[in-house]
Amino acid sequence: MNTVIPGLDPWEKLLADPRIWHFAFHNVVDLPETLVTARERAYFDFFHDVLAAVPKRISQALRDRFAVAYSRPDSLKAGFDWYRAMAADARHNAKPARIEKPLLYARGDADKRPIEPYVDGLKAAGAANVDSRIIEGSGELLPIEAPAGFIRALCDFRARLGA
């Protein structure tokens, strides 16, 4: 949901987008931890406010839980390490492999980027059966921002599979 897969189109284009500055920042060893520690709530609030279609949908209680969850040094490091692994992931994912299992790629409409390049990237990597859905009224946190639309997309996908 709502992300590019490292190594698959439009990976390189997305990395060049200045709005995606945090991919590079999170990749720096130790610096994000140093700057974010004891400021987790403010840091994650920034992303909730920028990436949500309607930031008010991300409740104060949920924002608190995000901050608390990442307040442990090992949790914060693990979150940043996900970005640090992206270069290796990109090299691995750039090797096409046939995937027969049906995939659903969903993203919120607040992003404004077209979904087609992401779906095309999955198909070019070998995903033979990709369905896509844009969830109205949502940004990055689809299940939180638009739970009904998210559930409907999952149910429609499941029904399409005959399950």
Domain stops at, among 57, 88, 119: 88
* Residues 79 and 102 occupy one common structural domain: no
C-alpha to C-alpha distances, 161 to 102, 108, 120, 128, nearest whole angstrom: 8, 22, 21, 14
Q: Total domain count for the chain?
A: 2
H/E element holding 19? none
pTM: 0.88
Q: Is residue 1 part of a domain?
A: no
Confidence at 2, pLDDT banded by 50, 70, 90 = confident
More confident residue, 64 or 3: 64
Is residue 55 classed exposed, middle or buried when 0-12, 13-18 and 19+ CB atoms within 10 A define those classes? middle
Q: Please state whether 126 falls in left (phi above 0), alpha (psi between -120 and 50) or beta.
A: left
Q: Report which DSSP code applies to 6.
A: T
Range of the domain at 125: 95-161
Range 53-77 average pLDDT: 96
Is residue 1 over pLDDT 80?
yes
Asked whether the beta carbons of 133 and 156 are under 8 A apart, the reply is yes
- Phi and psi at 116, nearest 5°, equal -55, -45
Is residue 163 over pLDDT 80?
no
Q: Quick one: pLDDT at residue 72? A: 96
Domain stops at, among 47, 69, 88: 88
pLDDT tens-digit readout, 101-157: 999 999 999 988 899 999 999 999 999 999 999 999 999 999 999 999 999 999 999
* Residues 79 and 116 occupy one common structural domain: no
